[in-house]
Structure 1
Amino acid sequence: MAATTLDLRDVPPPERHPKIHDAFESLESGEALELVNDHDPKPLFYEMQAEVDSFDAEGYEVEQRGPTEFVARLPKK
């Protein structure tokens, strides 16, 4: 599965979710958006699950790689 990576660690918090939604929208079916973040993006998971029909919640994965590095994979149906 192809993935687009978006590193959000230097993006101001108010700009993160719009940037994520824009990047996710541009994906093709079967692709995924990989996010690098400074915290666990669990609230984003719930937001995507509730608001984005093409979000594959069952395929969602998150890995903590360090105290301030989380990598989440948001697949698109």
Structure 2
Amino acid sequence: MSESELASLPLLDIRAISPMERHPRIFGMVHALAEGQSFVIVNDHDPRPLRYQMEARYPGLFDWEYLQHGPDIWRVEIKRSLSSGCDCCCGG
């Protein structure tokens, strides 16, 4: 993805959000994504625990790509995967 494409993605800087509100805010954005859409989170530490939560709640539905690996700032693109063709209620 080019820098201009990345710049056009919605950005959620969670450094300014209280820790208790961070994951709920992120999951709210995750739920709003249509297939193929993505957004970028910016954090002051590696958001690996969030990734584990997403994989447990939504296995295979989202892609996770580190764009920047600290040490002071982490940027991660979270993208809703394209449908596998399942017409069930699970969202897969």
TM-score of the alignment, normalized to the shorter chain, above 0.5? yes
Structure 1 residues 20 and 29 mapped into 2: Cα distance closer, same or farther (>3 Å)?
same
How big is the alpha-carbon RMSD for the aligned residues of Structure 1 and Structure 2?
Answer: 1.9
Of the two structures, which has the highest relative contact order with CA contacts closer than 8 Å and spacing of 6 or more? 1
* Deviation at residue 70 of structure 1 after TM alignment: 0.2
User: Which structure has the larger Rg?
Assistant: 2
Q: Choose between structure 1 and 2: higher strand proportion.
A: 1
| 1:36 and 2:37 correspond | no
Taking the aligned partners of 1:70 and 1:35, their CA distance within structure 2 comes to: 8
Separation of aligned partners in 2, 1:19 and 1:61: 19
Residue 9 of structure 1 corresponds to which residue in structure 2?
Answer: 15
In 1: Cα distance, 2:24 partner to 2:78 partner: 15
- The answer for unaligned runs of 5 or more in structure 2 is 82-92
Seq. identity, %: 34
User: Aligned pair 1:46/2:52, yes or no?
Assistant: yes
Unaligned runs of 5+ in 1: none
4+ residue segments displaced more than 6 Å: none
Are residues 54 and 26 of structure 1, via their aligned partners in 2, closer, same or farther at CA, if it must alter by over 3 Å?
Answer: farther
CA contact (8 A) 1:54 1:76 kept: no
Are 1:60 and 2:64 counterparts? yes
Q: TM-score, normalised by structure 1?
A: 0.82
